[in-house]
């Protein structure tokens, strides 16, 4: 695979990497993306479901949708894209994976430096009192009631219109500011504030690389583009880091 020349020249000087991942990195594990042809949006119209109003007015429908996604995610496994990022963690002094995905596949692959800025579908909390719950909810027909306050239990994901977890996003912004190389992998770059992170990195002097089989909102601002799947593109990029390590 031909990688951008500027990237190959930059890699020997890279000490800090920040990676933003989106639904595309889990596509090869079998999790449909949100905005592709087989996107979850198309089948289930989640723009109408992934928000607080929908949950409060139609809890069982929203619950059913999340139960479907939970079931799907419980059956999939990390792929070579996730695994390449695990190797990269051991090859650079500083690396942070910032993921918009709620599937936990980076951690399952073995990445230890991950921030989940849109939450995690495997966790739940009470919408009213915020207490976290650790229960198997796949069997439930609708949202169970919180044993503490009677409120409705919900998945611990960030819905449209909700604030991102402040600490996680702050950590992501700091990593974007200090990195030498920023990788945007499998994200359409349309959902903010996540989509601001590549610009934060570029404005702070980082080389900005996009890995995505399709053109995205970010493409024209990227210093380099790899038009490939996450597994193929990341494996090729990490191989350059590995060769560099052998030489040094
Ligand atoms: N490898 C890499 N990228 C891929 C692959 C693949 N195998 N297959 C598809 N893609 C790309 C698509 O070309 C697209 O650019 O992944 C991207 C997926 O974009 P979206 O479906 O919009 O997903 P994402 O960017 O993660 O969405 C952001 O929006 O719906 C909300 O909260 C949800 O976190 C999500 C956020």
pTM of the model: 0.95
Distance (angstroms) between ligand 1 centre and the Cα of 185 equals: 8
CA–CA gap between residue 239 and residue 237 (Å, rounded): 5
Nearest to 107 by CA among 125, 124, 89: 89
Distance (angstroms) between ligand 1 centre and the Cα of 98 equals: 14
* Per-residue pLDDT tens digits for 146-204: 989 999 999 999 998 899 999 999 999 999 999 999 999 999 999 999 999 999 999 99
The backbone torsions φ and ψ at residue 70, rounded to the nearest 5 degrees and listed phi first, read -60, -45
Residue 149 is predicted with a pLDDT of 95
Pick from 20, 24, 82 the residue to mutate for probing ligand 1's pocket: most ligand atoms within 8 Å of its CB: 24
- Ligand 1 pocket residues where CB is under 6 Å: 22-25, 27-28, 33-36, 39, 100, 118, 186-188, 190-191, 212-214, 216, 229-230
Quick one: CA torsion of 178, 4, 235, 181, rounded to 10 degrees?
0
Residue 139 is predicted with a pLDDT of 62
Residue 61 is predicted with a pLDDT of 83
The low-confidence residues of the chain, meaning pLDDT below 70, are 36-46, 135-140
Strands 119-126 and 153-157: antiparallel
Strand arrangement, sheet containing 94-99: 114-116, 94-99, 16-21, 181-185, 207-211, 224-226
Q: Which is the catalytic residue, given 106, 118, 125, 127?
A: 118
Residue 101 is predicted with a pLDDT of 97
Residue 31 is predicted with a pLDDT of 92
Residue 136 is predicted with a pLDDT of 63
Question: Is residue 118 annotated as part of the catalytic site, yes or no?
Answer: yes
* List of residues 6+ apart from 34 with CB closer than 8 A: 23, 40, 41, 46, 188
What number does the ligand 1 atom closest to the CA of 39 have?
Answer: 21
Residue 41 is predicted with a pLDDT of 45
Distance (angstroms) between ligand 1 centre and the Cα of 20 equals: 11
């Amino acid at each position: 695979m031909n990688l951008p020349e500027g990237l190959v020249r930059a890699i020997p000087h890279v000490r800090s990497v920040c990676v933003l991942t989106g639904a595309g990195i889990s596509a090869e594990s079998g999790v449909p993306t949100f905005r592709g042809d087989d996107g979850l949006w198309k089948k289930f119209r989640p723009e109408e479901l992934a928000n607080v109003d929908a949950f409060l007015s139609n809890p069982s429908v929203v619950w059913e949708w999340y139960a479907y996604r939970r079931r799907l995610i419980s059956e999939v496994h990390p792929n070579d894209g996730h695994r390449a990022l695990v190797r990269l963690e051991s090859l650079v002094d500083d690396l942070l994976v910032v993921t918009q995905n709620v599937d936990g596949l980076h951690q399952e692959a073995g990445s230890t430096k991950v921030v989940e800025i849109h939450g995690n579908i495997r966790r739940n909390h009470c919408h009213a009192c915020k207490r976290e719950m650790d229960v198997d909810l796949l069997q439930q027909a609708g949202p169970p009631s919180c044993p503490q306050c009677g409120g409705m239990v919900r998945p611990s994901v960030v819905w449209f219109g909700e604030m991102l977890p402040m600490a996680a996003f702050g950590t992501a912004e700091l990593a974007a500011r200090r990195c030498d190389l920023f990788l945007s992998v499998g994200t359409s770059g349309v959902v903010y504030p996540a989509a601001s992170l590549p610009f934060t990195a570029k404005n702070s002097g980082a080389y900005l690389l996009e890995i995505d089989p399709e053109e995205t909102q970010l493409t024209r601002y990227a210093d380099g583009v790899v038009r490939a799947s996450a597994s193929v593109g990341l494996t090729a990029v990490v191989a350059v880091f590995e060769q560099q390590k052998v030489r040094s």
